[in-house]
Amino acid sequence: MSWSSEEKKKRQHRAPIAEAMRKYAEDGALAFHTPGHKQGIGAHPLLRELVTAQGLREEVSLMEELDDLHGPEGCIREAQELAAELYGADAAYFMVNGTTGAIHVMFMAALRPGDVVLLPRNAHRSMTGGVVLAGAQPVFLPPEMDEDMGIAMGLSPETVEQAVREHPEAKALAVVSPTYYGVASHLAAIADILHSHGMLLLVDEAHGAHLRFSDALPPQAMDAGADMAAQSTHKLLGSMTQSSMLLVRKGRVDMERVRAASSLLQTTSPNQLLLASLDIARLQMAEKGEELVGRAVLLAEELRAFVNGIRGLHSFGRERMGTPGAAGLDVTKVTVSFRGLGLSGAEAERILRHVYKVQCELADAYQVLFILSYADTRRELEYLKAALGDMADRYRKEKEFALECDFPKIPVQRISPREAFFSSSHGVGFDSSIGRISAEQVMFYPPGIPVLCPGEEITEACVSYVRRMQALGLKLVGPRDLKLHEIQVMK
């Protein structure tokens, strides 16, 4: 159906899923169906307090009014159509197992066993999971590095062009944009390269659900030519944790495979509160998105300027953009380096959390990351500014913090991640595992960039890097033994 612009605007100011849930709850039907708490009647007082009595009355699913995520014909279908319209996509799929689930759907829809897929090494662990599920063969590409800050940026078009020449058999490139630190890749140029060779552009846009609502931010992936993009609506907008969207462009993508993969990988009992929160988050952006995201941009820029006025602190900004792998910056991600104070990022995070009651998003060797979202106001900004100013006065050390520990080169892939996942393995001492083939992922989270993937040869540089990061107190995830006394290797 074709809608006029005025009709589209009016349609956007509804929340079909939330409306259907309220209608069912108010109908008064006696519940001889799941969930077991029977619309809150049997809920423990702690659960009623946590979710609210009204939320529990509406926490039902699969009734005719509430539609079916796996074959939507009613309110869920309408809500997904409204999301696709607002985000400029041809289709939107609601995800109740996070952007990890959306990325797995992308891989399963776009790839078949044995297909080659190009990936940046700073890909989130969910991409490795997608490779395992699809049975694909990954070719890892080196992202551009900012050596001063010690962080990975995006992929350059030149790196993509070279990879396409060397691997013309590849079916797709999956890229992270923006990165955890807010750096956006040259997506439009990359899309042109890939499409001219018959390849798909898949984007992990977990940290970009808000980009479409401010001209001061990089363009979102759908507007830059992506074929599919997975967005964490819960990370930067107003849906509940674990709820995300997969946006799809018709033409090069098999839409039926997307639908089938989504149905295969998602629960048959989706939580209606999560679905409604996605619908309401979309409604909120339709109503006031530009105003709210615009406020976050202004507050973030003020914070960045304040930080750069304090001796010993530094926050990079747009001055580092326009280089290979860095087309633009999501300025609402404010990365603050504490090395000039003599502190590691991990030390700074602990001080902020336990002395100033400020929790940052992540800490790496040198920096911490603050995310300013549409929800932040001047009150939160002024508190954070006061904390950082006081911290610079009280915790300054005589020497700048320095660490000689570059991220190791990409190890050699000896067998595919899927083969490694399903093969027999056993534990050996990590420090003496050099030359063995890892059966596990090893990474520090956040940001979740693999040091080792299943099927890769363990190198001395990998072992050294892990031990240095552990000494800083960063959180290791992936392996069975989280202290890495032992690592699982192929037999």
Strand-strand pairing, 449-452 and 486-490: unpaired
Would you say 116 and 298 are in contact if contact means Cβ atoms under 8 Å apart?
no
pLDDT in tens, 20-46: 999 999 998 998 888 999 999 999 999
Residue 474: what pLDDT? Answer: 83
Mean pLDDT of 3-15: 82
Q: Where are the chain's structural domains?
A: 68-268, 290-394, 417-490
pLDDT in tens, 73-98: 999 999 999 999 999 999 999 999 99
Would you say 304 and 331 are in contact if contact means Cβ atoms under 8 Å apart?
yes
Would you say 68 and 59 are in contact if contact means Cβ atoms under 8 Å apart?
no
pLDDT in tens, 92-121: 999 999 999 999 999 999 999 999 999 999
Q: 290-394 has which CATH code? A: 3.90.1150.10
Would you say 273 and 55 are in contact if contact means Cβ atoms under 8 Å apart?
yes
Cα angle value 134/140/142 (rounded, 5°):
150
Q: 417-490 has which CATH code? A: 3.90.100.10
pTM of the model: 0.94
**SS3 assignment, position 208:** coil
Cα–Cα nearest to 222, from 85, 49, 24 = 85
Q: Which residues contact 352 (CB under 8 A, 6 or more apart)?
A: 358, 359, 360, 368, 387, 391
pLDDT in tens, 405-444: 678 889 999 999 999 999 999 999 999 999 999 999 999 8
Q: Which residues contact 149 (CB under 8 A, 6 or more apart)?
A: 316, 335, 337, 366, 367
The reply to whether 290-394 and 417-490 are identical in fold is no
Which two tokens mark 97? 């197992």
pLDDT in tens, 153-192: 999 999 999 999 999 999 999 999 999 999 999 999 999 9
Residue 6 scores a pLDDT above 90: no
Which two tokens mark 301? 């820029």
pLDDT in tens, 280-318: 999 999 999 999 999 999 999 999 999 999 999 999 999
- Say which residue, 46 or 1, is predicted with more confidence: 46
How many Å separate Cα 485 from the centre of its chain?
29
Residue 66: what pLDDT? Answer: 92
Residue 1: what pLDDT? Answer: 56
Residues in the chain: 491
Phi then psi for residue 54, to 5 deg, are -65, -40
pLDDT in tens, 310-344: 999 999 999 999 999 999 999 999 999 999 999 99
Write out the CATH class of domain 68-268.
Answer: alpha beta
